[in-house]
Structure 1
Amino acid sequence: MNRDATAFFVNILVPLVTGAVYFIMAAEIKRVTKIRKLMFGEIGYNKAFTAFLLFGFYFVTRPLQNVLGPHPWPMVINSVRQFFLMAVIAPSILVGILHWVPSEKGTPKSTAVAAYAGGFLMAMIFILVNSMAIDGSKILAEFGGWKIYDAKWFTSGSVSSSDFALPKARLIVIHLITQLVTPVGYFLLAAAYVRHRRYNYPMSSVYNLIPKKWKYLEAGLLIFAISMITAGFAAFFGQYYTYLWVIYFAASAVAGVIELISVKIPPREAPADLQN
């Protein structure tokens, strides 16, 4: 596969396929909500539906980052997409899971407020760093007269100069930390909460497949978070920044399928009253 075809595959095709997976998942969540909302709570399912629907839009809009034109468009689209991921989608999934995997005393409203407030703060810092660090764009591929662009960091300064290297390093660290908080940290926190509830689930419960549902849910969250960590660090410290994000896109599709399996597993064996 040549360079242009690889760029098209990584930046256009894979995100579109991943987005389609999440749209299908959102539709399935909407369908089973009508049957199981009394058991798991309408709030939890509705938040999960909204989060995965937004995830679908998040991925299918990824190509806009590359096809709208040179700088500042790649930076603008990236900032908008990451804002929704960090400030809306990740908190929605965390809060949705806290409702879906309820504790004995319920989920305090302050928890939801804190989740969204933290996501908003990290997203605004991310956008600020983007505006400071991204000052150009590069051509990834060209098909006839159609060009695919991506954002480029620090084009106006020499990364080897002593007065520029330290600010660059700081910006990169801040950029990584904001994303480690949300969405990565939120998903890891959600996975840890699901695992805690799964290990403490009463085995005598009539809903004997709940631990299995939660096991798949936990696995999907972990795959998503770990893939983003892996792709992020590989991209920043490797040689092929743009292309390494295929790790994240592909793993996100896998995580979506696993989450869909979790949703479709019935809460107990042979649930005649809960047939889809």
Structure 2
Amino acid sequence: MLVDSHCHLDFPDFAEERAAIVARALAAGVGRMVTISTRVKRFPQILEIAETFDEVFCSVGTHPHNAAEELDITAEELVRLAEHPKVVAIGEAGLDYFYDKAPRDAQAQGFRVHIAAARQTGLPLVIHARNADDDMIAILRDETGKGAFPFILHCFSSGRRLAEVGVELGGYVSLSGILTFKNSAELREIAKDVPRDRLLVETDAPYLAPVPHRGQRNEPAYVADTARVLAETIGVSQDEIARITTGNFFRLFSKMPRLAQQGG
């Protein structure tokens, strides 16, 4: 079994065929999907999707692009919303200096609020990091010094140093379809050196469809293509990469109900 640890099933791209997309994922061997929150104020729509499908769970949080819109969201509110049994993660939150859609101080402020919620709940923080490696490292080191918290560097496309520091601080590294792109040789070299017990796979659907679907709308079923390339990259079988990444997923997303083959 594979898991898509990060998708956006609430996005308009999927509105007309959500049930069919979930069915295709299950047919492709993807037994769990986590649909990720980008605005707390739209959380009810996320939760409705997670409640509709047994195999779909969700997070609660504010994307850095939307940080300035939701500075009123407190750690306490995130903790309260995360009590729902379908909520298995906090985020996505973090720093995006590529698009800079929110002021950087607002992004950092929101990020630290989400870290506090992850620390209080014990749920993994889904971290978005783009073109912000130095500040991301500084915040992760500072906040870990206040108390450890579980986290995942989602859709990893940053430099080697951030991967190394993330692992050093107890985090996980999730690979998306970017891993399959022809020009991602450097990312594949980084992936080779991530400890196997810290690797995850995801789609970030509807974005970043892996080869051979590149340029199309992405969907959770395609996580199998990323997993295949990750297996080739680190030199294991496809069955083994499924075992590794799914085991890691259930360890990190500890609130997620396990399937019988994951220990009941």
TM-score of Structure 1 vs Structure 2, range by shorter chain: under 0.3
What TM-score, normalized by structure 2, do the two folds share? 0.26
The structure that is strand-richer by fraction is: 2
Higher helix proportion: 1
Q: Which has the larger radius of gyration?
A: 1
TM-score, normalised with respect to structure 1: 0.25
